[in-house]
């Protein structure tokens, strides 16, 4: 998943509190360079780093960082190469395919299930990029 590479809210909060990168790094046990990359949206936050930030700042991690920076907090480590592509496609697929069938015959919502691997083999990369961009836009609105 692409990183936003934009200044994160943690930077503003640290400035408001008069904290330096070195102070934050020392208090959280996170390297100064790692904190700097997190604050600039250039590196994903790991589960351990998320706990350290929450404990130090006393705020939910979602307040400190954008969702893209937190994309792998619950699914660590981040996938690389083809594994990353398959993960993004499977995520996009599950969000698109889980449709509601309004057929009264079922009496409840019916979730369609199509194996993600089948979809992976049939979708061109350019379309996958468009779908992922579309889903990020939906995430940003909610």
- Give the count of domains, the chain: 2
- Dihedral of CA atoms 81, 85, 91, 93 in degrees, nearest 10, equals -160
Residue 126 in domain: yes
- Which of 41 and 134 is assigned the larger pLDDT? 41
Model pTM score: 0.56
Confidence at residue 32, expressed as pLDDT on a 0 to 100 scale = 94
Asked if residue 19 and residue 47 are part of one domain, the reply reads yes
Report how far apart, in Å, the C-alpha atoms of 20 and of each of 24, 26, 94, 125, 139 are: 6, 10, 41, 42, 31
Structural domain contains residue 93 = yes
Quick check: is 4 in a domain?
no
Give yes or no: residues 18 and 44 share one domain.
yes
Domain that includes residue 16, residue range: 9-64
* 1 pLDDT above the threshold of 60: no
Q: Judge if 58 and 102 occupy the same domain.
A: no
Per-residue pLDDT of 7-61, as tens digits, reads 999 999 999 999 999 999 999 999 999 999 999 999 889 999 999 999 999 999 9
């Amino acid at each position: 998943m692409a990183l936003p590479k934009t200044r994160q809210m943690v930077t503003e909060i640290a400035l408001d509190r008069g904290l330096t990168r070195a102070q934050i790094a020392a208090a959280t046990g996170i390297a100064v360079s790692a904190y700097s990359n997190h604050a600039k949206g250039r590196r994903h936050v790991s589960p351990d780093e998320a706990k350290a930030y929450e404990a130090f700042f006393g705020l939910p991690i979602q307040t400190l960082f954008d969702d893209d920076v937190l994309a792998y907090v619950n699914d660590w480590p981040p996938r690389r190469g083809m594994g990353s592509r398959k993960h993004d496609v499977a995520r996009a697929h599950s969000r698109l395919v889980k449709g509601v069938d309004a057929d009264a015959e079922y009496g409840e919502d019916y979730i369609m299930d199509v194996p993600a691997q089948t979809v992976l083999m049939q979708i061109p990369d350019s379309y996958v990029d468009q779908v992922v961009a579309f889903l990020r836009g939906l995430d940003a609105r909610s």
